[in-house]
Amino acid sequence: MQQQRDVVIGLEVHVQLTSLKTKLFCSCPSDYRGKPPNTYTCPVCLGLPGSLPVVNKKAIEFAVMAALALNCQVSERAVFFRKNYFYVDMSKNFQISMYDRAGGTPIGRGGYVDIDVDGTRKRVRISRIQLEEDPARLVHLGPIEFSPYTLVDYNRAGIALLEIVTEPDLSSPKEARIFLQKLRSILEHCGIFDGSLEGSMRCDANISLAGGARVEIKNITSFKEVERALSFEIARQRELLKRGQQVRRETRHWDEDRRMTFTLRVKEEEHDYRYFPEPDLVPIVITEGFIERVRSMMPELPDHRAERFMREYGLPEYDARVLTSEKALADFFEACVKLYPNPKKVSNWLMTDTMRVLNEYNLDWSSIKMKPEHLAELLKLMDDGVISIKIAKLLIFDVVLRGIPPSKLVEEKGMKRIVDVNYLSQLVEKVFQEFPK
């Protein structure tokens, strides 16, 4: 029986398969970021009449791997559908996507992700995971509703996307953020996704409060934004309900810069996308052998890695979970422990001191300049008595933010610890003489 919850949240996440070299249905390169607009295109991803799509086999492999990693049941057959709509971001006026009705099956169904919220495990069910093509990127001048024009960049059109839909199992903005973080870590461990790339993970959220209708929030561009967007929406809906007003069923747009949501469209009924099977693509048969082959290639996933960190390095569960919450962080930890075999100390310096620097400058792990050998060197300098812990906590700012080796910083800044007692007593004498009071 479903317990009555005050806040009910479900997510629909779009994740680019950034490790693919080419797009989903053509051989255009997929590293479109930073390239001149509309240069990574061909007749297929421009949707020109007569062009024919061919499925990227590697994309199917990656999607099956993601489905397995999210504990889903993998379908035996994947059929692409046309999702028809008229909008400039899809020049052929339909998106090739999988569909879970009318004989269609998504690539995976009925999975789950376990997340840790304040020390408690919680299971978030995944209703489905499917493969589809990314639409073009739209560029506006200022906020979308005031922009005098829309620019379209088809470089992104046709990039392979995974659509991952959760059941409405989340109960707070914080849980939503933790879920997306975990999802990112899982997909990064699979080696199919790099979450540090701008716009590689986007999310729509459904949220309802007891007594109000369900509101959909579109255009949340990162897992950090999701917490903000949902918090704003909860406050807005609570205020309406408190004043006895209605929360209408609608779709709202999250404006990252102004940090607010506003009405995009009021939903009278479901969109009619007139889905039908894509006649230019044959159904894809996913054999048991194919699934087993993908399963055998599966790398270690975050939950297993955390367990290994506890076993192999004797870390407390909390440390193990935090360190594996991001693949790059877990990789850093292991590389550093190889050079400085004191796991708990390395963990402490990563989780407290390094994180403090990043938080202070509002940076995430991907922008860190520190190398594992730098942290190992810093810890050794302390062990050897060359620097004190106080100095180390000062130096780590320059190491993290600028990637300067600690030994060089000590040399440059003359921050060596003074161990000569005679010299120190002379200094003390001198200070007392100059400032007798």
Backbone CA torsion sign across 388, 389, 392, 397: negative
Q: Which of residues 135-164 bind Mn ion (CB under 5 A)?
A: 163
On whether the CB atoms of residues 315 and 323 are closer than 8 A, the answer is: yes
> Rounded to the nearest whole angstrom, what is the least distance from the CB of residue 165 to Mn ion in the complex?
9
Chosen from Mn ion, Zn ion, none, partner binding at 400 (C-beta under 5 to 8 Å by type): none
Q: Render 149-194 in DSSP notation, one character per residue.
A: -EEEETTSTT-EEEEEEE-S-B-SHHHHHHHHHHHHHHHHHHTS--
Chosen from Mn ion, Zn ion, none, partner binding at 26 (C-beta under 5 to 8 Å by type): Zn ion
Q: For residue 306, what is the enclosing H or E element? A: helix 302-313
> Rounded to the nearest whole angstrom, what is the least distance from the CB of residue 417 to Mn ion in the complex?
58
Sequence-ordered alpha helix ranges (H) in 215-287: 223-242
Quick one: 44 or 346, whose CB is closer to Zn ion?
44
Quick one: 20 or 320, whose CB is closer to Zn ion?
20
Which residue's CB atom is positioned nearest to Mn ion?
163
Quick one: 155 or 206, whose CB is closer to Zn ion?
155
Q: Which of residues 90-149 bind Zn ion (CB under 5 A)?
A: none
Q: For residue 373, what is the enclosing H or E element? A: helix 372-383
> Rounded to the nearest whole angstrom, what is the least distance from the CB of residue 132 to Mn ion in the complex?
5
Nearest alpha carbon to residue 95 among 41, 141, 134: 134
> Rounded to the nearest whole angstrom, what is the least distance from the CB of residue 137 to Mn ion in the complex?
15
Quick one: 163 or 326, whose CB is closer to Mn ion?
163
- Retrieve residue 52's tokens: 């024919």
d(CA 76, CA 106): 10
> Rounded to the nearest whole angstrom, what is the least distance from the CB of residue 396 to Zn ion in the complex?
46
Looking at the DSSP bridge assignments, the partners of residue 266 are 250
Answer left, alpha or beta for residue 287, where phi above 0 means left and psi between -120 and 50 means alpha.
beta
> Rounded to the nearest whole angstrom, what is the least distance from the CB of residue 42 to Zn ion in the complex?
3
Assign 425 to helix, strand or coil.
helix
Kindly write out the interface string for residues 11-50 of this chain, putting x where it contacts Zn ion by CB under 5 A and - elsewhere.
Answer: ---------------x-x-------------x-xx-----
Nearest alpha carbon to residue 179 among 122, 220, 225: 122
Compute CA distances 305 → 213, 301, 322, 329, 431, whole Å. Answer: 41, 6, 11, 12, 55
Backbone CA torsion sign across 379, 382, 388, 389: positive
Kindly write out the interface string for residues 227-256 of this chain, putting x where it contacts Zn ion by CB under 5 A and - elsewhere.
Answer: ------------------------------
Quick one: 163 or 353, whose CB is closer to Mn ion?
163
Quick one: 132 or 377, whose CB is closer to Mn ion?
132
Chosen from Zn ion, Mn ion, none, partner binding at 45 (C-beta under 5 to 8 Å by type): Zn ion
Backbone CA torsion sign across 208, 212, 218, 219: negative
Chosen from Zn ion, Mn ion, none, partner binding at 163 (C-beta under 5 to 8 Å by type): Mn ion
Chosen from Zn ion, Mn ion, none, partner binding at 28 (C-beta under 5 to 8 Å by type): Zn ion
Q: Which of residues 44-83 bind Zn ion (CB under 5 A)?
A: 44-45
> Rounded to the nearest whole angstrom, what is the least distance from the CB of residue 414 to Mn ion in the complex?
58
- Retrieve residue 300's tokens: 């270690």
> Rounded to the nearest whole angstrom, what is the least distance from the CB of residue 44 to Zn ion in the complex?
5
Quick one: 45 or 161, whose CB is closer to Zn ion?
45
Quick one: 94 or 332, whose CB is closer to Mn ion?
94
Angle in degrees, 0-180, between the axes of helices 57-69 and 173-190, rounded to the nearest 10: 130
Chosen from Zn ion, Mn ion, none, partner binding at 355 (C-beta under 5 to 8 Å by type): none
d(CA 142, CA 174): 29
Quick one: 39 or 147, whose CB is closer to Zn ion?
39
> Rounded to the nearest whole angstrom, what is the least distance from the CB of residue 252 to Zn ion in the complex?
33
Residues touching Zn ion, count (CB under 5 A): 5
CB within 8 A of 396, min separation 6: which ones? 349, 353, 354, 357, 370, 378
d(CA 155, CA 194): 18
Residues touching Mn ion, count (CB under 5 A): 1
The site for Zn ion (CB under 5 A) is made up of 26, 28, 42, 44-45
The site for Mn ion (CB under 5 A) is made up of 163
